[in-house]
């Protein structure tokens, strides 16, 4: 059920509806929009009568929601969500007010950096490169989910501290992965955006935990997740009260063997139609091959993605993980130049433009 | 084995090498390039000694080819192939010389029209629309492979005659499907480009037959074809002597259900790396949904495809096949405008630009 | 539309219904069952009124068929189809009456032999082995669809003549592949069963051609065919008048890489539920690995398949195609022993039992 | 690296090798076999010289292991692992000594019960049914990973207490799912086998946690996990010191839509070849359709699986989750009868036999 308030409804009207919902044993999710507020109802699904709400002051209508996802749906919130990243006290996206950034706005979100934080020097060098080329956010794993227990698992807390230093030194916002609920307690002290990896897309304990965080969440599509499963995973986060979810397509598993995964760019317009959440593309994991990253980045921007998350390493050949898909710094500059031109065509901007 | 001639090699040198190859019981495939000629050798794979050829006049080197495909490979021919479509007596792509077109050159190849030819009026109306919007080639099936024996199977010969009338009336070149070797005898009298559909990608009898045709071939990737199988299918056509093959990505079958197929745009740069053949994208079959066609067309151009094949129908809701994925004429104009802008960014042109 | 006759309806009643159907411009498919006859109606799908038929003598009811497939459906024919293979003048499956065989009856259908006929000696040796171990039908390709144009394509007509000699020498019935409509003219002179390969499952010209043959058809599931597409391919054959179709699961293409294809045994009970046609399993192509053939053969019999088609070669290591998945003759004996025991458990028999 | 001890090596020889390994900063995994002990070495992969160990008393050889998995590999341990479930003080599998069970031995492991524990009555009724029919272990989720946050998530701790009561009342051993590391602290107090679900197959935090448990682990294959990824997930558990891992095939995600997942039975012989761990099959999730469970159970036993995990519900139509794939109690009896007969053929037993 979804309660849509009238444009002129006041804060106390919204408050009253929420109280009634909770009195009935459900949970209320007020979602303010530019024009008017909608209130999602979740909880143990007993029957509710629309009429119970439609008589309250300020209520425009009460709608039964047909899709399994509710809070992520455009039926609940028709405007695109803008996800604010970075210190709340600063005014993002305004000159002289560095530090914050809005994902889903006109400027493409460019997140770049190495797969894993390997050392202070490696991280700072990579960060300096990507900042100069126009990235606003820095990626780098401190905790790495690896297929083998014998592979490099990340520097852990030391990696997080290096990331904090990167932020201080460069002003880049930090995107890094959290791998379980307990680990999230630590990671959210350092990260500006909490990344949930593809292998954890249906780790519901982790989804609930990041749903209770105040930091935005970057949620990657699972390796064989349908669109509905992807949106339902996001729904878990929103249902806990964290509406700041950024989706990310990173390739799916198919029979095709010329790339490591098959990047499914059609999911971008499909998400845009069904959901108000922004969605990025990861062309590095999405192809697993360095020479495919630039063309697929161009395609991702052209198809309408809100941005990219790209692996860049100062010395890909010496990388401890995923070096074969990391760009050289000069390739990242090329990429930024090419997508800036395409962004313009479709009415988006980049830091470079 | 591949014989690479010296840049200064004369026609008679090439001739001599070919004769030697045939004398050994193999088949010679001379492929002239801008700089120098390469000669592919195919046939029953007995052992050949490179030394047998390297001593001949004009021969630069004899290379054992490691990939299973040879003639389609960049190892054999490093320059992009330009595929000339339309009347040979006319000089394609030059003002005042209408009628011919070169696929794989700077101008994007835009093929548009209905899934099936349904009537004279429908075809002519559609053709007029797409011509005005900038298409140079017209698509329309006279023989339709359909999943059900009870579905509309195309108008057959009558459909081909309508296509011929479309060419006369609009100057558009005709791309239409051939469904078996016998049928090809008929279709090649009408078509400018012989289309081999996805379901026939490994119909080797048909591949051999179109390989003996003088008309260029548009070869669609099979629903679950690996890149290697796709290139090997093209190799069948080249091995019979027809080097004018245009590849086409049209989506592959995966678990994903938000589109009818999963359009695999990463195959474009992968083909470009391995093969000299041009490759188009079919965003209509590739997504199966009208509202995905324009964004994926932009992405296809951005990723580096040589063009598009798009379904456009004057009245999609009345179409006898695939109406739900056909664009309305005005949507096709929008598409042409958007891809013209992106084409410019990556150094390509369109008729509109 | 499906017309179900009363049990006591006479031949002339059936005849009258068929005439009425044809007079309306449709095509009638009388399918006699043990209890009563059903008559399928196919053709250009205009509206028919059930009442037009229900008033005719002998008609029990006229049913609108909801599935896209009709003639292959259990709605049209509830009893399992028994497909008679071999000389019609002989009484199959009766001692002293060798030469014929019934696919879909209590005895499991065991088809065995090499991937390709390579020589008279190889074929005769293989045939002698598999006959002794209990096979009733011999497989061997004379025309081989191969991914590469440079691979061994089969002995052609010479291969067919060797197969004819195998039949004379051993009494085994011959199953061999036909690759295009023209080729079918030749193959049907030699084969007892016409095989349509996986790559040709949607080669509709070939399906229509074998649909006009008097020989039974073994139709292999395409590499990425859904169950509905598989049944629709069979429907093409039945719609042309050849009701003797034997289906065959041979593995589908997935991301899994421990076998060449993923053998989908769940399709056996799924087919049994929807269709009256018998279905075999090909564990050789279905796994692509010799050491998986015996366990998957046991599983195929246990799941309820009507039999197996297995590659056996006298010298797998010298095979010109698919040797790595062919059994050694002694392995085939082991296989026959193991499946005989499982067959007994589920109420089937083998020649060995 | 793998150290293989001589058959006559004494406990102190093994001890000495382990100490040397740990002194070098690695971790030692002694794995006693029937003939001799092997010692796996894991840890930060610096170079080790075989010669350093081959000179120690009792050492037969030191082998570099080529596969990415080590401890799960047959190269490390050639005999099948027998996984002891239930109270260690009791002698499993011996008459008069109920309570314990050995997975991987001659008797097939049959785990049955509802998808989720819904109530005391439902669980006890289901347990009584499956015990009578011959199951030795009871399945039932107290914590349920669900695609939707609004679906029934299990009874939690109350569910675990009901499971404990089921064990007391019926003697059945309890298999239940743990969903995150913290939750594992609770679940391992109640469960005899800790289940890790398909969605958590690469939840490495959870794998490490169950790797430190003293309870055996049932590890389900992920929805799109390759065989290597599946074995590497098990390797995570063994690498932490818990060698009691039971694998389980539960269907993979493909394009096929006649079942919810595609049950990949070929993975059974593939696992048997590469690993010493036992493997079960889940035909309920593997097909998602009640009428496919019995035939695929027969096939699973025939292919060589060590047992089954099957959903049985007293009233499937009233089930809170997955009712459409749960068997009726009388269907489970039929299943047990059919697999008992097949088990005999391949040299296995069931409680019923």
Residues C162 and D285: their CA atoms lie apart, in Å, by: 48
pLDDT category of residue A94 using cuts at 50, 70 and 90? very low
The answer to whether D42 touches A149, Cβ cutoff 8 Å, is yes
Q: Which residue of C has its CA nearest to B203?
A: C200
- Across the range A276-298, mean pLDDT stands at 97
D85-137 pLDDT tens trace:
997 654 444 444 446 999 999 999 999 999 999 999 999 999 999 999 999 99
Q: Which residue of D has its CA nearest to A239?
A: D149
C148-174 pLDDT tens trace:
888 888 999 999 999 999 999 999 999
pTM for the structure as a whole: 0.90
3-state SS, residue B134: coil
pLDDT category of residue C92 using cuts at 50, 70 and 90? very low
A-to-C residue pairs, Cβ atoms closer than 8 angstroms: 7
pLDDT at A99: 64
- Across the range A243-247, mean pLDDT stands at 97
For residue D47, pLDDT beyond 80: no
pLDDT category of residue C91 using cuts at 50, 70 and 90? very low
pLDDT category of residue C95 using cuts at 50, 70 and 90? very low
pLDDT category of residue D36 using cuts at 50, 70 and 90? confident
The answer to whether C278 touches C247, Cβ cutoff 8 Å, is yes
Residues B21 and B1: their CA atoms lie apart, in Å, by: 10
Highest-pLDDT range among A81-95, B27-41, B86-100, D198-212: D198-212
- What are the distances in angstroms from CA B193 to CA B109, B172, B215, B336? 13, 12, 6, 22
pLDDT at C44: 57
Would you state the structure tokens that stand for residue B186, as one six-digit string? 């008929």
Residues D83 and B250: their CA atoms lie apart, in Å, by: 49
Contacts of B300 in chain A (CB under 8 A): 299
- Across the range D16-25, mean pLDDT stands at 87
- Across the range D42-61, mean pLDDT stands at 77
Q: Which of A206-215, C53-62, D47-56, D226-235 has the lowest mean pLDDT?
A: D47-56
Q: Which residue of C has its CA nearest to D297?
A: C303
Residues B329 and A8: their CA atoms lie apart, in Å, by: 41
For residue A292, pLDDT beyond 50: yes
Nearest partner of B37 among B65, B71, B76, judged by Cα: B76
- Cα A321 from chain centroid (whole Å): 22
pLDDT category of residue B91 using cuts at 50, 70 and 90? very low
Q: Is C91 on the interface with A (CB under 8 A)?
A: no
Highest-pLDDT range among A40-54, B20-34, C90-104: B20-34
Nearest partner of D20 among D44, D45, D39, judged by Cα: D39
For residue A213, pLDDT beyond 80: yes
Contacts of C183 in chain B (CB under 8 A): 205
Tokens 């000495």 identify what position? D16
D322-335 pLDDT tens trace:
888 999 999 999 99
Angle at A80 between CA A76 and CA A82, to 5 degrees: 115
Would you state the structure tokens that stand for residue C175, as one six-digit string? 């199953």
A13-63 pLDDT tens trace:
999 999 988 888 888 888 777 677 888 887 755 667 777 788 888 888 887
The answer to whether A233 touches A222, Cβ cutoff 8 Å, is yes
For residue B92, pLDDT beyond 50: no
Contacts of A69 in chain D (CB under 8 A): 148
| DSSP per-residue codes, C164-195 | HHHHHHH--EEEEE--SHHHHHHHTTT-SEEE
- What are the distances in angstroms from CA D248 to CA D180, D208, D230? 19, 18, 10
| C270–D255 CB contact, under 8 Å | no
For residue C93, pLDDT beyond 50: no
Chain B: partners with 3+ C-beta pairs within 8 Å: A, C, D
pLDDT category of residue A167 using cuts at 50, 70 and 90? very high
Tokens 């009428």 identify what position? D291
For residue C187, pLDDT beyond 60: yes
pLDDT at D75: 84
**Mean pLDDT for chain C?**
91
pLDDT at A96: 43
**Mean pLDDT for chain B?**
91
For residue B232, pLDDT beyond 80: yes
Contacts of D331 in chain C (CB under 8 A): none
Torsion angles phi and psi, residue C110, rounded to 5: -115, 115
| D256–C227 CB contact, under 8 Å | yes
Q: Is C205 on the interface with A (CB under 8 A)?
A: no
Task: Select the residue from B224, B264, B266 to test the A interface by mutation, using most A Cβ atoms within 10 A.
Answer: B266
Write the residue in C273, C296, C302 that is nearest to D298 by C-beta: C302
pLDDT at C99: 64
The ipTM estimated for the assembled molecules is 0.88
Share of chain C above pLDDT 90, in %: 70
Residues A104 and C330: their CA atoms lie apart, in Å, by: 66
Write the residue in D224, D253, D255 that is nearest to B253 by C-beta: D255
Residues B290 and B330: their CA atoms lie apart, in Å, by: 13
Chain C window 26-85: which residues touch B at a Cβ cutoff of 8 Å?
42-43, 45, 68-69
Q: Say which residues have a Cβ less than 8 Å from residue A94's Cβ, sequence separation at least 6.
A: none
For residue D233, pLDDT beyond 60: yes
For residue C97, pLDDT beyond 60: no
Q: Is D258 on the interface with B (CB under 8 A)?
A: no
Which is it for the CA torsion D19, D23, D24, D26, positive or negative? Answer: positive
Contacts of D253 in chain B (CB under 8 A): 255
Residues B217 and B230: their CA atoms lie apart, in Å, by: 14
Distance from CA of A136 to the nearest CA of C (A): 36
Distance from CA of D290 to the nearest CA of C (A): 11
3-state SS, residue D225: coil
**Mean pLDDT for chain D?**
91
For residue B3, pLDDT beyond 90: no
Report the side by side order of strands in the sheet with A37-42: A27-32, A37-42, A2-5, A59-63
Q: Which residue of D has its CA nearest to B262?
A: D255
Q: Say which residues have a Cβ less than 8 Å from residue C124's Cβ, sequence separation at least 6.
A: C162, C165, C166, C169, C170
Would you state the structure tokens that stand for residue C72, as one six-digit string? 């292959």
3-state SS, residue D264: coil
> What HEC string does B27-49 produce?
EEEEEECCCCEEEEEECCCCCCC
Residues B181 and D101: their CA atoms lie apart, in Å, by: 64
Share of chain D above pLDDT 90, in %: 70
For residue C352, pLDDT beyond 80: no
For residue C46, pLDDT beyond 80: no
Determine how many CB atoms are found less than 10 A away from the CB of residue A128: 16
């Amino acid at each position: 059920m979804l309660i849509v308030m009238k444009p002129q409804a006041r804060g106390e009207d919204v408050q009253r509806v929420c109280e009634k919902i909770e009195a009935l044993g459900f949970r209320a999710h007020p979602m303010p929009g530019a024009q008017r507020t909608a209130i999602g109802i979740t909880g143990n699904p007993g029957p509710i009568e629309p009429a119970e709400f439609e008589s309250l002051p300020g209520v425009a209508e009460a709608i039964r929601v047909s899709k399994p996802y509710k809070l992520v749906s455009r039926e609940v919130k028709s405007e695109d969500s803008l996800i604010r990243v970075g210190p709340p006290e600063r005014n993002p996206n305004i000159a002289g007010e560095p530090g914050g950034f809005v994902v889903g706005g006109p400027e493409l979100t460019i997140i770049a950096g190495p797969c894993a934080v390997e050392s202070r020097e490696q991280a700072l060098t990579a960060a300096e490169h990507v900042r100069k080329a126009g990235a606003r956010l820095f990626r780098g794993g401190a905790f790495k989910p690896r297929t083998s227990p014998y592979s490099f698992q990340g520097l852990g807390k030391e990696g997080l501290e290096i990331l904090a230093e990167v932020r201080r030194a460069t002003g880049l916002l930090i995107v890094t992965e959290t791998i379980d609920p307990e680990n999230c307690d630590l990671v959210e002290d350092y990260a500006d955006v909490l990344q949930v990896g593809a292998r954890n897309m249906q780790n519901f304990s982790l989804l609930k935990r990041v749903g209770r965080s105040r930091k935005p969440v970057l949620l990657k599509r699972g390796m064989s997740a349908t669109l509905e499963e992807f949106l339902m995973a996001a729904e878990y986060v929103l249902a806990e009260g964290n509406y700041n979810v950024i989706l990310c397509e990173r390739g799916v598993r198919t029979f095709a063997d010329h790339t490591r995964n098959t990047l499914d760019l059609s999911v971008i317009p499909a998400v845009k139609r069904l959901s108000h959440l922004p969605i990025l593309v990861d062309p590095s994991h999405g192809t697993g091959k360095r020479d495919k990253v630039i063309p697929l980045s161009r395609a991702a921007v052209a198809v309408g993605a809100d941005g990219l998350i790209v692996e860049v390493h100062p010395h890909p050949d010496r990388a401890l993980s995923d070096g074969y898909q990391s760009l050289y710094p000069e390739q990242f500059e090329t990429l930024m130049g090419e997508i800036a031109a395409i962004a313009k065509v479709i009415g988006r901007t980049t830091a470079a433009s």
